[in-house]
Amino acid sequence: MKANAGEIPIRDSTDGDMAAVRSIYAHHVQNGLASFEEVAPDPAEMARRRQAVLKGGFPFRVAELRGTVKGFAHAGPYRHRPAYRFSVENSIYVAPDALGLGLGRLLLADLIERCTALGHRQMIAIIGDSGNAASISLHANLGFREVGVIKSAGFKFGRWVDSVIMQRPLGDGGDSPPGDLRR
């Protein structure tokens, strides 16, 4: 069963969501290649990361299924040098028991909409593992295109892992100057 936008509430995260967010992320750190972390951050570190995202003025969103947080997505700076200030990097994670239901698509579409409204012009996805067909397909279906692969960028679970770089313009993208160059 695929989720419809009306069935899955997507909302701003709260402090109370962080245990579920941490659990979802810990699963992916311990069992997958989407994250190049090898040890899952503790709850305090996850809360600190969320606060940094929010303090930077970026969205940190969660998706609920029957009242339980089953996915999260956030944006942050692509890089910290001033010239990158109109580009964001996304992160999306879905609970293992909710994979394939369309939560990732809903979360990414929501994140694109919010970042566009905030005046960002490019969204970058750094996808762990060139074999991560689900994430690559999700991003491609929402307008991202592959712009590069960094071969053997990480070493996890006894093997070399690539990073796939995908990019999507937001709003006018690079077709016009941003509205507020002082940002």
Predicted local distance difference test score (pLDDT) of residue 5 = 53
**What is the tens place of the pLDDT at every residue in 33-47?**
999 999 999 999 999
Residue type, 93: Y
All structural domains of the chain, each given as residue ranges with its CATH number in brackets, are 10-169 (3.40.630.30)
Which is nearest to 97 in space by CA: 125, 74, 73, 69? Answer: 69
Which is nearest to 164 in space by CA: 137, 118, 125, 134? Answer: 125
**What is the tens place of the pLDDT at every residue in 119-171?**
999 999 999 999 999 999 999 999 999 999 999 999 999 999 999 999 999 99
CB 109 within 8 A of CB 71: no
